[in-house]
Amino acid sequence: NAGVTQTPKFRVLKTGQSMTLLCAQDMNHEYMYWYRQDPGMGLRLIHYSVGEGTTAKGEVPDGYNVSRLKKQNFLLGLESAAPSQTSVYFCASSSRQADTEAFFGQGTRLTVV
């Protein structure tokens, strides 16, 4: 039982490059989320989705785009990476019936130089 899987685990980008982070969950959860975690800032919500084909902005959405074409996948895109986007990114999912429990992936460590 894999739970929530994030790809890749590590990445170094140059300023201005683009990339996509992939999140896959096998728990049939309706809700999916992307967070970033920075020292001293805690977890901040970037975007979230309440179902296939729907996405919404969270607390810090600027510079990111997302898509949820399939229920089990949630993609986070950086169109033009900036050093301020250096962070650890976590994907999470939860069921509609129990959204107080979010299941997190192992994280993606992104460095933008």
Beta-carbon contacts of 41 under 8 Å, excluding residues fewer than 6 positions away, are none
Residue 83, classed as helix, strand or coil, is helix
Least distance in angstroms from the C-beta of 23 to another protein: 11
Q: Pick out residues in 17-56 that bind another protein (CB under 8 A).
A: 31, 33, 40-45, 48, 50
Residue type, 104: F
Give the C-alpha separation, 27 to 40, whole Å: 31
Q: State how far Cα 113 lies from the chain centre.
A: 20
Give the C-alpha separation, 47 to 26, whole Å: 20
Candidates 12-20, 64-72, 76-84, 96-104: pick the segment binding another protein (CB under 8 A): 96-104
Closest to another protein by CB, 56 vs 113, is: 56
Closest to another protein by CB, 5 vs 17, is: 5
Report how many residues bind another protein under the rule CB under 8 A.
Answer: 23
Q: Which residues bind another protein (CB under 8 A)?
A: 4, 31, 33, 40-45, 48, 50, 90, 92, 96, 99-107
